[in-house]
Structure 1
């Protein structure tokens, strides 16, 4: 997520100062004033299981051979837009030929009407059609049709694969940068206290800057493999650390938003927290591995399964948990209605309980 003049979405991390890639969206250690109870943000997820492969066919198909970087830019640039709001700007990707634009929720947050600029120089009005803060994705309806819809890859990229980032960093429209896919299934340390979206991300060393938020990360075949989300700035000692929402997640959420304006998220009904020295002392913990349960929603899935505040969750199914972000990422990969096995510590004992995941209530989104 990036922009060049937009308001700061201050999504802080505990260990890192993270910058959302929309102009004006920053995370510099303070809590996001738009977030509720940032220190106890409850978990939520969007399943990333096999969504539809594509929404449209404006760019060259994944079936063909890899293109050169100039060819990739030429093929995909018409499908990438700049979104202007009262607070600043971000980027977006043409999702359907009839005018739907996919972008980050934080790019359009607080706005109903925006302006959309296309690669051919035309600018039109747009309306926010649906948004989802949990996944940080939104759909904008542009007042224009017969558009070159992008093609989305149906699976995850490979580490080492070419990555080309297209968007409007710092207001420089139609900008391209390139690198490789550096990692998959990344979580931003400390982000669970302020955002539920910074988990299960693609990492790239292709430059992502303010204004890129909501723009395209593209592979060598001209397919969208991710939606630009955030970066860690050089001031924090980082060198080319950018993050994107994987295309399968983006498409699945977009299809749900198109259907009824909302997206489903697996909900356990608890507030996870890192095991700080203070919490370890308060709970008299000798073993600090796992995720602390700070609170439990009355009548929710965790409550029904017997999970209590002060419990330490160490595993979901076969996935070990070392931080709250691990819990959010595990839930991101699951759907409401599924039952998961949860291993936890309480005092000196260990137990396993089955938790039936529900759809996140609207009030907790």
Structure 2
């Protein structure tokens, strides 16, 4: 077997629906969360889990290393937070529920220099239609920025990655999964591992195109450290019991980027 010491796979089993949000600023009410999912997901057979080739894992690792330079930890004055990332216009994107209830924010890129972004606008994630996007601006200049791709081009079973800060795992964590299907309208369902703290993470193809933003996943106990530190570079295939993650697609992102 080839050496895979740079990767880590946490092996588990069961299948289920998303039961909470990926952020740490409070749970989205169940009724709102269900609106993000299609009515038939309980009957949907997910694509085969795992089974990624060494080439796909190598591409995920290489891409993840670059993407981490565009991703930041973000925290509000109330101590809650999640994941943010730099769009190619220099602004930051994250989830509305990550910034909700805060007026001031602190953020850290992987290099560690703290900056304080300002909120430009956020969607009303508690009302229909359910969208969970916030836009912030800052004078900080990152070493990498990400561009929006076309969500409609993603095919069932296609490998996708995200980079975020899942509690209990670490910061700037690369995880890989597969596209499952669309939920209601502009929601993507994937098997990309997501825990509390992944809220706002970019969802990308292995070609590096952003196709969504992570909005939901499996909640975990919130573990805050005085200063976020990047974990060793690994590509995760699973964090915990298999569940779908939800993501707003790029049509939603484009809409709010233009509006704000």
| Alignment TM class, shorter chain as reference | 0.5 to 0.7
- Change in 2 beyond 3 A, CA 1:133/1:232: same
Kindly indicate whether residue 156 of structure 2 is the aligned counterpart of residue 159 of structure 1. Answer: yes
More strand by share: 1
Number of corresponding residues? 198
CA contact (8 A) 1:79 1:148 kept: yes
User: Does the residue aligned with 1:255 lie in a helix, a strand or coil?
Assistant: helix
Runs of 4+ residues over 3 Å off in structure 1: 27-32
2-structure distance, mates of 1:24, 1:102 = 16
Q: CA deviation at 1:103?
A: 0.7
Match of 1:23 in 2: 24
- Counterpart CA distance in 2 for 1:92 and 1:178 is 18
> Does residue 141 of the first structure (1) align with residue 137 of the second (2)?
yes
Q: Is the 8 A contact 2:25 2:100 kept in 1?
A: no
1:94 lines up with 2:90 in the alignment = no
Considering Cα pairs closer than 8 Å and 6+ residues apart, tell me whether 1 or 2 has the greater RCO: 2
How is 1:176-195 mapped onto 2 (pairs within 5 angstroms)?
176-183=174-181, 185-187=182-184
Q: Give 2:203's match in structure 1, choosing from 203, 217, 235.
A: 217
1: CA distance between counterparts of 2:205 and 2:132?
Answer: 22
Matches of 1:140 and 1:67, distance apart in 2? 32
Q: CA deviation at 1:125?
A: 1.1
Answer yes or no: is the 8 Å Cα contact 1:66–1:221 preserved in 2. Answer: no
Classify 1:121/1:19 alpha carbon distance in 2 versus 1 (closer, same or farther; 3 Å): same
Q: Which runs of 5+ in 1 are unaligned?
A: 1-15, 33-43, 46-64, 188-198, 258-365
Higher Cα Rg: structure 1 or 2?
A: 1
Give the alignment's Cα RMSD to 1 decimal: 3.2
In the superposition, the TM-score normalised over structure 1's length comes to 0.49
Structure 2: distance between partners of 1:163 and 1:30? 27
Q: Say if 1:17 and 1:28, in contact at 8 Å, map to a contact too.
A: no
Q: What is the CA–CA distance in structure 2 between the aligned matches of 1:178 and 1:249, rounded to whole Å?
A: 22
